[in-house]
Amino acid sequence: MDGVLQHKDALQTKNIVMRNEINKLNTDNSTLGIKIEEVTAREEKTLHEHERTHNELADTKEALLTEIALMTDKTNDYEDIVQSLNENASKLTENN
């Protein structure tokens, strides 16, 4: 009879230990779930910031290319003016 009681006590002890381990695993699982949510939120924020930065860079690039085109046009216009002035200066020099 003592053997049966000891076996029963051992099983109850084992059962308590297993319940404690299950509770610990559930707690750990909940903690990991919270961490996953936090990491996911940070990832979404980072992706949003990356997209915003990418869009800003694309807008800046477009503005710079437009500015380069305008400056190129102005430079070409000034070259034409300088060439015309040089031609006029040459004609005046020839006439004198």
List, for residues 14-23, the tens digit of each pLDDT value: 999 999 999 9
DSSP state of 37: H
The rounded distance, in Å, linking the Cα atoms of 26 and 64 is 56
pLDDT of residue 92: 85
Neighbours of 51 (CB within 10 A): 10
pLDDT of residue 12: 94
The residue segments making up the domain with residue 4 are 1-96
pLDDT of residue 54: 98
Domain count, the chain: 1
The rounded distance, in Å, linking the Cα atoms of 35 and 87 is 77
pTM: 0.58
The rounded distance, in Å, linking the Cα atoms of 88 and 93 is 9
Q: Is 1 helix (H, G, I), strand (E, B) or coil?
A: coil
Place of tokens 């020099």: 93
